[in-house]
Amino acid sequence: MRIYYIANARIPSEKAHAIQIAKMSEALLAAGADLKLVVPRRKTPKKTPREFYGLKSDIPLKRLPAIDSFNFGRLGFFIGSLSFMVSYFCYLFWKKISGEEIVIYMVDMDNFSFLAMPFLNVSYFAELHDVKKKNIFWNFFLKRAKGIIVINQLIKEKIKKNFALADEKILVLPNGIDLEFFAGFGKSAARNRLNLPADKRIALYLGKFYQWKGLEILVELASKLDKNTLLYLVGGDKKELKRTINQPFSQNNIICVGQRDYKEIPEWLAAADVLLVLGTKGNEYSYFHTSPMKLFEYLASRRPIVASATPAVRQIVSEKEVWFYEPDNAESLFQAVSETLTKKTLEKIENGFEKVKNFSWQKRAENVSEFIRMNINY
As beta bridge partners, residue 232 has: 204, 255
**How many separate domains does the chain show?**
2
For residues 169 and 234, membership in a common domain is answered with no
For residues 222 and 103, membership in a common domain is answered with no
For residues 157 and 273, membership in a common domain is answered with no
For residues 164 and 278, membership in a common domain is answered with no
Cβ 62 vs Cβ 36: under 8 Å:
yes
pLDDT, tens only, 72-113: 888 999 999 999 999 999 999 999 999 999 999 999 888 788
For residues 205 and 351, membership in a common domain is answered with yes
For residues 39 and 58, membership in a common domain is answered with yes
Residue 285 burial by Cβ neighbours in a 10 Å radius (0-12, 13-18, 19+) = middle
- What is the per-residue pLDDT for 356? 95
Q: What is the dihedral of CA 11, 12, 18, 23, to 10 degrees?
A: 110
Cβ 172 vs Cβ 150: under 8 Å:
yes
Q: Give yes or no for residue 70 having a pLDDT over 60.
A: yes
Per-residue confidence band for 194, with pLDDT thresholds at 50, 70 and 90: very high
Name the DSSP letter for residue 194. H
What domain range includes position 8? 2-176+360-376
For residues 287 and 261, membership in a common domain is answered with yes
Q: Give yes or no for residue 378 having a pLDDT over 50.
A: no
pLDDT, tens only, 40-61: 999 888 889 999 998 999 999 9
pLDDT, tens only, 255-276: 999 999 999 999 999 999 999 9
The CA distance from 12 to 50, in Å, is: 9
For residues 103 and 45, membership in a common domain is answered with yes
The CA distance from 321 to 97, in Å, is: 52
Q: What angle do CA 363, 367, 372 make, to 5 degrees?
A: 150
Q: Give yes or no for residue 291 having a pLDDT over 90.
A: no
CATH number at residue 370: 3.40.50.2000
For residues 239 and 123, membership in a common domain is answered with no
Per-residue confidence band for 377, with pLDDT thresholds at 50, 70 and 90: low
- On the CB side of 279, CA atoms within 13 Å amount to 25
For residues 207 and 234, membership in a common domain is answered with yes
The CA distance from 131 to 163, in Å, is: 11
Cβ 120 vs Cβ 89: under 8 Å:
yes
Least confident of 102-116, 161-175, 187-201, 353-367: 102-116
pLDDT, tens only, 217-254: 999 999 999 999 999 999 999 999 999 998 888 888 99
- What is the per-residue pLDDT for 290? 87
- What is the per-residue pLDDT for 45? 85
For residues 198 and 244, membership in a common domain is answered with yes
Mean pLDDT of 341-346: 87
For residues 19 and 60, membership in a common domain is answered with yes
